[in-house]
Amino acid sequence: MTIRVVIVEDSATMRALLMTRLSQEPDIEVVAAAANAQEGRELIRRFDPDVVTLDIEMPGMNGLDFLDKIMALRPTPVIIISGATQQGAATTAQALARGAVACYAKPQGGQPLGADGRLIELIREAAQVRFARGSVPATGRAVPAANPAVALLRPRLVAIGASTGGVEALHAVLGAYPDDCPPTLVVQHVNARFAPSIAHSLDAACSARVVLAEPDTLLRPGHIYIAPGDDRHLTVAGTGPFYARLRAGSAVSGHLPSVDVLFQSVAEKLGSDAVGILLTGMGSDGAQGLLAMYRAGALTIAQDEASCTVFGMPRAAIALGAAAVIAPVTGISSRLFRKAA
């Protein structure tokens, strides 16, 4: 199958670089390229592409509004092509929360565009996303936090893994957390450049405090710790109290940081005192780790197919028998709550 791509990018140089790089792949065809949102909207309508690459920082337009129009009028997998600015990273984090499936950082320091193969990988992953025509995907805006009459079933720790479409899913799950939640560790596959902005956007939408994990940080209730995505695995250390540990290593299940590594460490350190949640994502990272948590007695939850952007990671876990609960993304947090006696 040939993947048909529309490029929306205001820089003529970057448009040319993207067209040249993508055209080198036999399974990718650039069917059109636009210099602004108005052109992009017309070309998306005309060519009905499999994937759109979008420069979110284009002058003279609101990239987030344009993304909202794409997702409302013609839902299409969108990859954000972002620059190095802090504002660009912040806007990209918002775009991921509002339905973009992935982000790619423009290279710095004269590096060739797409030299590491990640851009091509993202486009191939995005092409596997399917949206129902005529439907409006979830915006990723947080649902109201649990009210005071609801008490958390008290696991000592929650571990969450996500990939493609995961930022939007995290907004739905973590937005329902109360401010006194158990310490929660999250591995979201994302470029390290965007991790701080994603943590900030989640923090603004959640009752609990959302921060980037730091080495040897004491894990505290009411806090959610996001892996910084900088080629270090996030794990749990200690015997109670517990600490976040960041360590260098090799990719596991194709990723660094890896959800499998986090889940395995939680299974070993906390056993039945933890909850594992595996959200939308390509591939199988997290499946073996969720199985380890299940076998250790932890409550294990996988996002259901209907609410996933990509069902790969949850599907792999379910196939292994690792998920005790399969739930829509908006129902996952409720599995951790019960009415107070």
List residues with catalytic annotation.
163, 189, 285
- Distant-in-sequence, close-in-space partners of 330: CB < 8 Å, separation ≥ 6: 138, 143, 172, 176, 307
Strands laid side by side in the 78-82 sheet: 28-34, 3-8, 51-55, 78-82, 102-105
**What are residue 188's DSSP bridge partners?**
162
| Torsion, Cα of 219, 272, 175, 253 (10° steps) | 80
Q: Describe the strand order of the beta sheet including 232-238 as a list of residue ranges.
A: 217-218, 242-248, 232-238
For the chain, the C-alpha Rg in angstroms (whole number) is 20
Q: How many residues does the chain have?
A: 341
Residue 286's nearest CA partner among 256, 263, 254 is 263
Q: What is the DSSP string of 146-187?
A: PPTTEEE---SEEEEEE-TTHHHHHHHHHTT--TTPPPEEEE
Where in 42-92 does DSSP place strands (E)?
51-55, 78-82
Decide if 298 contacts 182 (C-beta within 8 A).
no
Element (H, E) at 225: strand 223-226
Q: What sign results for the dihedral spanned by CA atoms 311, 315, 317, 321?
A: positive
